[in-house]
Amino acid sequence: MTIRFDGKVAIVTGGGNGLGREHCLQLAKLGAKVVVNDLGGSVDGSGGSVSAAEGVAEEIRKGGGEAMGNGADITKLDQVEAMVAEAKAKWGRVDILINNAGILRDKTFSKMTMDDFKKVVDVHLFGSANCTKAVWETMREQNYGRIMLTSSASGIYGNFGQSNYGAAKAAMIGLMNVLSQEGAKNNIRVNTLAPTAATRMLEGLIPEQVAKLMAPELVTPGVLFLVSDEAPTKAILGAGAGCFSAVHIYETPAVFLGGESATVDDVAANWAKISNPAGEAAIDAAFAQTNKFVAAAAEALGVKLQG
């Protein structure tokens, strides 16, 4: 199998530096036409210049590929829609969206302003939603689309001082879970990346020796798979230092505690049983959990369910 992207048009947000830059360069090397989007601001989201995006686009063109730089602010839906319209006017379609752009405004929750909380959520969550919304109908009409959202171990597992970032990154998984279902009939596959790499966000925080092991280009092969023809859907891929892992969310079996007679003391007394991982399984959709609980309750109460 040789995965390529000939004839495909990709949009990569935050494509001017770090991980996004590598995603753009490698997509182009494998034949994709690339929109390099980057507001060009600092790590905290302040400032802006299209020069970073244009620089990567020019690098692609010098290498014989096709690319355009774009400085749209992804928190502004009208700017994102204009970016998508520009890509379609030039190349006729949009096949791939890599939601990579992000900012950091780290502080403990007690010291963080709600403006800093909102700004981070706006960029990561609403920025990703804006970009996805702007390409969604095009992908439905094409009966083809590949969308990648970028989460983080901070969102999946937590990291001190990153309540805003962690909340926004955890939201990526919820967005993926729904969009992967809604896009299935139109061959739109939606996946999530949880990367770790030596980018601007980690400057000064990790030793040089570790940084060398965490080069951004070592993450990109996983990204390319998640947006390829061969991509899964509803997958969470961990990636860093040339290593890859699949992240799963599991739920333990239902424990019936008596229905209407159950009390808070019953929950406390049975907590070890409720939280016992034996028999845990992945849940495919929200109603699968509902059905599990109803089936367990019906069995315990001797109720015969119809259908």
pTM: 0.93
- Are 190 and 149 in contact by the 8 Å Cβ rule? The answer is yes
Q: Residue 82 pLDDT more than 70? A: yes
**pLDDT tens string 234-278:** 999 999 989 999 999 999 999 999 988 999 999 999 999 999 999
Sheet containing strand 243-247, strands side by side: 67-70, 33-37, 9-13, 96-98, 145-150, 188-195, 236-240, 243-247
**Residue 295 one-letter amino acid:** A
User: Which ranges in 92-185 belong to alpha helices (H)?
Assistant: 114-121, 127-142, 153-156, 163-182
Q: What are 67's strand-pairing partners?
A: 34
Q: What is the mean pLDDT of the chain?
A: 93
Q: How far apart are CA 69 and CA 53, in angstroms?
A: 5
Using DSSP, state whether 219 is helix, strand or coil. Answer: coil
User: Which residues are known catalytic residues?
Assistant: 165
**pLDDT in the model for residue 43:** 67
Q: Residue 50 pLDDT more than 70? A: yes
**Residue 132 one-letter amino acid:** T
**pLDDT in the model for residue 306:** 83
Radius of gyration of the chain (CA): 22
- C-alpha dihedral (24, 197, 104, 68), degrees to nearest 10: -10
**pLDDT tens string 135-169:** 999 999 999 999 999 999 999 999 999 999 999 99
Q: Residue 124 pLDDT more than 70? A: yes
